[in-house]
Amino acid sequence: MHFHHYFRLLASFVLALISPLCQATEPTAATLRVGVLQFGTVNWELDVMQANKLAQKRGLTLKVVPLASGDASTVALQGGAVDVIVSDWLWVTRQRAEGDNYTFTPYSNAVGSVMVRADSGLRSLADLKGKSIGVSGGPSDKTWLLLRAFASKKYSMDLAAATRPVFAAPPLLNELALSGQVNAALNVWHYDARLEANGMRPLIKLPEILSGLGVDKPIPLVGWVFREDWANQNPQIMERFMAASMEAKSIMAKNDAEWERLKPLMRAEDNATFLALRAGYRNGIPHCADAEYEASVATVFKILAETGGEKLVGKSKVLSDGTFWSGFKLPACPKN
């Protein structure tokens, strides 16, 4: 055997031995299917992730799956068409009570407000007696139920009976509010931002409502939702995704140029709306959590269960164990 032929065989043998070792040191590529509303604000964060390769540099490929509605999102998750969606811990705890092990990590603390016209003369919820209030969603909307609980506690007022509730989808509700067809509007945060940019003002914001109900710290109302058994089998995928999500939020919290790039995606009608949307998103970023964080959510759940009943919470009587995924924790808030 010629020496150079022998050397080639030896080199091939050594390469075969070390290749698996080299491969093992590289991040294993994985794909995560994220279901989002087609024009929802979650797309902004995902766009920041993609544009800055925040998932890619962690060995994760994101496949964004556009969906038509919140119900379509939960159906897609339950049917295995996506791995992760944005929903609320209320849905998660209800599913867990029924034996389905979905779980939750925080996405946003952004909250809705009761918006009124600047010249309305309305100063408190008590002033809404006999007037109309538009509510996004339906009678079981979380913020509406919390508002009702607050009105009952502070003013001994049954808001559902004392006012004329008008339930409508968020875009229609904004039209009704701006045209004066309802006296007040309780909408989701990014529609509130549009109302504020058009001269309306908040009558009461959710943090004030929660404070009146005994919850003084911000809590996430929506988060990333996924199956706990799947996450426990694929912990690195969710850990990488959450790290990318938090880095995207950090960029969005500080970098105005990134928001200029996002402008077309935001569909802001004018600069005032753009600035209101940016401020609203930034205000909702969950940077940290204190020790009472999950206890606060449990308190809010109890209030919702008492106000909304079985139609809202199903079989769950308390916030189910495991509602918050143990594989991710927000950083602890600095002590005052």
Q: Which residues pair with 117 in a beta bridge?
A: 200
Average pLDDT taken over every residue of the chain: 90
d(CA 194, CA 292) in angstroms, rounded, equals 33
In the chain, which ranges are E strands?
30-37, 60-67, 84-87, 102-108, 113-117, 132-136, 164-168, 184-187, 200-205, 222-227
Joined together, the tokens standing for residue 137 give: 């969603």
Q: Matching CATH topology for 30-109+219-313 and 113-212?
A: yes
* pLDDT tens, residue by residue, 283-333: 999 988 888 889 999 999 999 999 999 888 888 889 999 999 999 999 988
Distance CA(188)–CA(177), nearest Å, equals 13
CATH 3.40.190.10 fits 30-109+219-313, yes or no: yes
| Chain centre distance of CA 46 | 13
pLDDT in tens, 134-178: 999 889 899 999 999 999 999 999 999 999 999 999 999 999 999
Please write down the long-range contacts of 288-293, taking CB distance under 8 Å and 24 or more positions apart: 288/330, 288/331, 288/332, 288/333, 288/334, 289/106, 289/329, 289/330, 289/331, 289/332, 289/333, 290/217, 290/332, 290/333, 291/332, 292/217, 293/217, 293/219, 293/330
What is the share, in percent, of the chain residues with pLDDT greater than 90? 79
Rg of the chain over Cα atoms, rounded to whole angstroms, equals 24
Does 238 have pLDDT greater than 50? yes
Q: CA geometry: angle at 99 spanning 95 and 105, to 5°?
A: 45
Q: Name the more confident of 70 and 194.
A: 194
- Write the DSSP string, 220-242: -SEEEEEEHHHHHHSHHHHHHHH
Question: How many Cβ atoms are within 10 Å of 270's Cβ, its own excluded?
Answer: 11
Domain boundaries, the chain: 30-109+219-313, 113-212
When pLDDT is cut at 50, 70 and 90, the band that residue 11 belongs to is: very low
pLDDT at 162: 97
Q: Which residues pair with 259 in a beta bridge?
A: none
21: pLDDT strictly greater than 50: no
Query: Binning pLDDT at 50, 70 and 90, where does residue 334 land?
Result: confident
pLDDT band at 261 (very low <50, low <70, confident <90, very high): very high
Q: Would you state the structure tokens that stand for residue 130, as one six-digit string? A: 């006999």
Output phi, psi for 208, to 5 deg: -70, -40
pTM of the model: 0.88
For residues 258-271, give the mean pLDDT: 96
CATH number of 113-212: 3.40.190.10
Residue 16: band (very low, low, confident or very high) from pLDDT cuts 50, 70, 90 = very low
pLDDT at 26 over 50: no
Residue with more model confidence, 38 or 180? 180
How far is Cα 178 from Cα 157, in angstroms, rounded to an integer? 26
- Position 45 scores a pLDDT of 98
- Judged against a pLDDT cut of 80, whether residue 4 lies above it is answered with no
**Confidence grade of residue 28 (pLDDT, cut at 50, 70, 90):** low
